[in-house]
């Protein structure tokens, strides 16, 4: 009876089709994402981990949101095509407002971003562990960023997870 009680929570995490494999639980579903600058826009990328280098994540959705008190406020969402799947290598990124025709926008066109606001993004994806189509795990890549204006009025993107000093340049308090 004690053995059943110990194994029951573990069994609840493992599906028959393999969607929640033990490997996915061990490696961690939540991963760090990266924000870089392309032109004056933020460009969203997955972690440059060994796992993502071996098997680029297959994207399911991208959500960009404003971080506010209470629930975050989604401002731009994208649902990616599953057939064929859209993979994102760690050295590639998707610029805000564009997905190169690889899916479907869910909240309408991307609104203009504002300096001095804390934003976040989240990729929902899966990562393949082998050749079996059922051998995969869920991954969520998350990042936070803000925008400031430079001396000539152009946007500068600051990845807050990688450089907390960017918050000062954006004129925000950052401590999430």
Mean pLDDT of 32-39: 93
**Structure token pair of residue 128:** 């393949």
pLDDT at 96 over 90: yes
Residue of 115 and 32 predicted with greater confidence: 115
Burial of residue 13 (number of CB atoms within 10 Å: 0-12, 13-18, 19+)? exposed
- Averaged confidence pLDDT in the chain: 79
Question: pTM here?
Answer: 0.77
pLDDT tens digits along 8-31: 333 333 333 333 333 333 356 888
Nearest-angstrom CA–CA distance, 176 and 121: 14
- Residue 82: band (very low, low, confident or very high) from pLDDT cuts 50, 70, 90: confident
Taking the C-alpha atoms of residue 82 and residue 68, their distance in angstroms, rounded to an integer, is 32
Closest of 109, 136, 110 to residue 125, by C-alpha: 136
User: CA 108 to CA 98: how far, in whole Å?
Assistant: 12
Read out DSSP for 70-105? SS-EEEEEEEE-BTTBEE--TT--EETT--TT-EEE
């Amino acid at each position: 009876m004690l053995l059943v009680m110990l194994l029951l929570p573990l069994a609840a995490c493992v599906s028959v089709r393999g969607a929640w494999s033990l490997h996915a639980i061990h490696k961690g579903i939540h991963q760090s994402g990266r924000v870089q600058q392309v032109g004056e826009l933020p460009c969203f990328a997955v972690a440059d981990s060994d796992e993502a280098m071996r098997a680029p994540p297959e994207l399911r959705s991208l959500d960009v949101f404003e971080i506010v008190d209470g629930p975050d406020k989604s401002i731009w969402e994208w649902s990616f095509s599953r057939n064929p799947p859209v993979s994102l290598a760690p050295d590639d990124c998707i610029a805000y407002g564009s997905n190169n025709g690889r899916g479907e926008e869910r909240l309408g066109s991307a609104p203009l971003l504002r300096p001095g606001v804390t934003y976040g993004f989240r990729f929902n994806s899966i990562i393949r562990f082998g050749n079996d189509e059922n051998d995969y795990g869920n991954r969520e890549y998350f990042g936070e960023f803000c925008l400031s204006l430079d001396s000539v009025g152009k946007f500068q993107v600051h990845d807050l997870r990688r450089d907390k000093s960017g918050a000062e340049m954006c004129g925000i308090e950052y401590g999430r």
